């Protein structure tokens, strides 16, 4: 590893969304790091004449993938990449101009580093900074309890050694959604060096079509919202179970188990709203575990799971409306 020349591959993934992709690409093309030290690979599931022309004009590698899981999507991009450092960028985010220079130096100077997570600035659709959600000292102090929550979030802040991908292709092939968390759990499993950096090198965008804020447009219907949530939490549950299995034997095993069980609660709650006859997959052991050391959210999940359907519908409808208000207020910054 020490003798291998550092070369970065930036993988930009775009799944059915074109609106921000050009900006993401531009942010990588204008990096302060010499272009001889990095490459760009765009992996997407659509064709667009204007974007494809832009990609070709700038000598960017491109992959058209029909895969549905994001892990298989990334594997397709990996096949045509040559970097020993892989940096992820979602299509709706951007890199700060010195991100890759900073990243290059971090990995070049520390051959033991396998996982790097930089701080980020939150922006809205108009690329205005959302000060209330940005924090210059986000990673100044991270407790063991919050490490997974903070570092297992935001793909566009994460860069890893290539071997975390190539040595774990089976795991990546099973991944539905969470590049960030899988990267972290694999680094933990490998016992590699993990670094959290307060340098704000990523612009993380919140918008109405963001995967974390589903169907919050004015025309969103409650039933459609529920159906999207069911699909989302089914995939999160599958991912969380994968992370829990991979984490066994590590000091974070119990935390990953808790995330897995929480995802089961959420999936069951939304599923029971859609169909009152659906049989819960929750077990008594799940209740015992989540109530062993509960936080506020744990207690709410337990109460909701045992509540009548009409109460669940009422509370989830209130959640949907509050999320709409949140997104709307962010766009007005």
- Bridge partners of 121, per DSSP, are 203
At 20 the three-state DSSP class reads: coil
Burial class (CB in 10 A: 0-12, 13-18, 19+), 144: exposed
Q: Which of 116, 113, 243, 256 is nearest to 191 (CA)?
A: 113
pLDDT beyond 90 at 222:
no
pLDDT beyond 50 at 17:
yes
Residue 288 backbone phi and psi in degrees, to 5: -65, -40
Domains in the chain, ordered, with CATH? 8-205 (3.90.550.10), 222-331 (no CATH)
pLDDT beyond 80 at 209:
no
Does residue 70 contact residue 175 with C-beta atoms inside 8 Å?
A: yes
Residue 210: the pLDDT is 67
Q: Which tokens belong to 290?
A: 């989540």
Residue 3: the pLDDT is 57
Burial class (CB in 10 A: 0-12, 13-18, 19+), 152: buried
What's the gap between Cα 244 and its chain centre?
Answer: 17
The whole-chain average pLDDT of the chain stands at 91
pLDDT, tens only, 92-117:
999 999 999 999 999 999 999 999 99
Q: Which of 266, 240, 264, 238 is nearest to 253 (CA)?
A: 240
Residue 46 backbone phi and psi in degrees, to 5: -145, 165
What is the rounded distance in angstroms from the CA atom of residue 205 to the CA atom of residue 17?
14
Residue 220: the pLDDT is 53
pLDDT, tens only, 281-312:
899 999 999 999 999 999 999 999 999 999 99
Rounded mean pLDDT, 18-27: 95
Structure-token match 């959290």, residue found = 196
**282 to 237, 276, 312, 323: CA distances (angstroms):** 12, 15, 16, 27
Residue 224: the pLDDT is 81
pLDDT beyond 80 at 325:
no
- Bridge partners of 159, per DSSP, are 87, 116
Confidence category of residue 138, pLDDT binned at 50, 70, 90: very high
- Bridge partners of 62, per DSSP, are 42
pLDDT, tens only, 263-278:
999 999 999 998 877 7
């Amino acid at each position: 590893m020490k003798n291998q020349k550092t070369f970065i591959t930036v993988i930009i993934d775009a799944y059915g969304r074109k609106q921000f992709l050009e900006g993401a690409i531009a942010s990588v093309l204008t990096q302060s790091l010499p272009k001889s030290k990095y490459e760009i690979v765009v992996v997407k599931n659509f064709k667009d004449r204007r974007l494809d022309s832009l990609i070709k004009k700038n000598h960017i590698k491109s992959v058209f993938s029909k895969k549905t899981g994001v892990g298989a999507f990334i594997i397709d991009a990996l096949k045509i990449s040559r970097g020993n450092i892989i940096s992820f960028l979602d299509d709706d985010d951007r890199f700060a101009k010195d991100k890759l220079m900073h990243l290059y130096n971090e990995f070049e100077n520390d051959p033991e580093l396998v996982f790097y997570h930089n701080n980020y600035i939150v922006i809205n659709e108009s690329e205005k900074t959302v000060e209330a959600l940005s924090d210059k000292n986000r990673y100044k102090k991270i407790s063991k309890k919050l490490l997974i929550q903070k570092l297992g979030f935001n793909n566009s802040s994460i860069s890893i050694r290539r071997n975390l991908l190539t040595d774990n292709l089976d795991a990546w092939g099973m991944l539905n959604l969470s590049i960030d968390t899988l990267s972290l759990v694999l680094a933990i499993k490998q016992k590699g060096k993990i670094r959290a950096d307060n340098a704000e090198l990523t612009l993380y965008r919140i918008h109405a079509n963001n995967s974390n804020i589903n169907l919050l447009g004015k025309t969103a219907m409650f039933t459609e919202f529920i159906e999207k949530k069911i699909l989302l939490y089914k995939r999160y549950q599958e991912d969380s179970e994968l992370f829990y299995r991979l984490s066994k034997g590590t000091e974070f095993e119990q935390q990953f188990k808790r995330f897995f069980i929480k995802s089961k609660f959420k999936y069951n709650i939304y599923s029971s709203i859609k169909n009152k006859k659906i049989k819960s997959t929750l077990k008594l052991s799940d209740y015992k575990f989540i109530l062993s050391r509960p936080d506020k959210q744990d207690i709410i999940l337990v109460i909701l799971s045992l509540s009548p359907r009409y109460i669940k519908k009422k509370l989830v409808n209130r959640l949907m409306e509050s999320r709409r208000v949140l997104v709307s207020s962010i766009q007005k910054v």
